[in-house]
Amino acid sequence: MNKDPCKKCSNEYDYSCYLLDISTITVVMGVILILGSFLSFVPQIVKLSILKKTDGISFQMLHLALYNQWSLLVNFFMSQFPQVMSCNNTFWKCIANIIPQINSVFCFLGFFVPFLQYLYYQKREQGYSAEFKKNVICSLIFTFYALVTMFGFVFSGFFFSVCDPTYKPFTFIFRVFSSQKYIFQCNYDILNMFIQFYSVFGFNKYKNFD
């Protein structure tokens, strides 16, 4: 087991002093939240499995969602790294403290499974089309990003941890990355509203002019 770089606990191999006493009702609510998050993705996964088609599904949004959820996951684990390491000392108390991280894992899987399904069924529909190849390249870029950031947060957690002043800016960066899906979605929605507004009122203006 790795030593705690911050040496907060009396035993440098013990991370349990980072843990809080979580009430049973809080744990139960956390488990319900995890189940609800997981079940919210099941209909889409089942639908894809049954229809075996990619019609009506946006690969770009799935792709952005992967970056969003992975960055959120990395941010959680970086900011709560000692709590995660404490699972080697007191497992159940550790689990109660990292319920948000566990929920973020299920949310990531909820997007990752449809993402893989999309690529699989797109390959069956289109073969090695230009669109499929582009999406494969996008998935490889994400894989590279995930591997690099995984190595980064594990390495920094083991050797620097949350007490190092240079550690916090990295958690902030990943927090910003985790919001990019919503930024793009918001911009898309605004653009879509503008197009609809112009198509309605612009058309009526020219119609009245005629």
Secondary structure letter of residue 11 according to DSSP? S
Least confident interval from 4-18, 57-71, 97-111, 196-210: 196-210
Q: Which residue has the higher pLDDT, 119 or 200?
A: 119
Query: Could you tell me the residue range of the domain that residue 188 belongs to?
Result: 16-203
Residue pLDDT, tens place only, 162-191: 777 766 666 666 666 666 554 444 444 444
Q: With a cut of 90, say whether residue 158 has pLDDT above it.
A: no
Residue 95 placed within a domain:
yes
Residue 139 placed within a domain:
yes
Residue 182: CB atoms within 10 Å: 11
Query: pTM, whole model, 2 decimals?
Result: 0.76
Q: With a cut of 90, say whether residue 112 has pLDDT above it.
A: yes
Residue 156 placed within a domain:
yes
Nearest to 174 by CA among 77, 103, 61: 77
Residue 81: CB atoms within 10 Å: 25
- How many domains does one find in the chain? 1
Residue 209 placed within a domain:
no
Residue 132 placed within a domain:
yes
Task: Give the chain's length.
Answer: 210
Q: What percent of the chain has pLDDT over 90?
A: 21
pLDDT at position 67: 87
Residue 143 placed within a domain:
yes
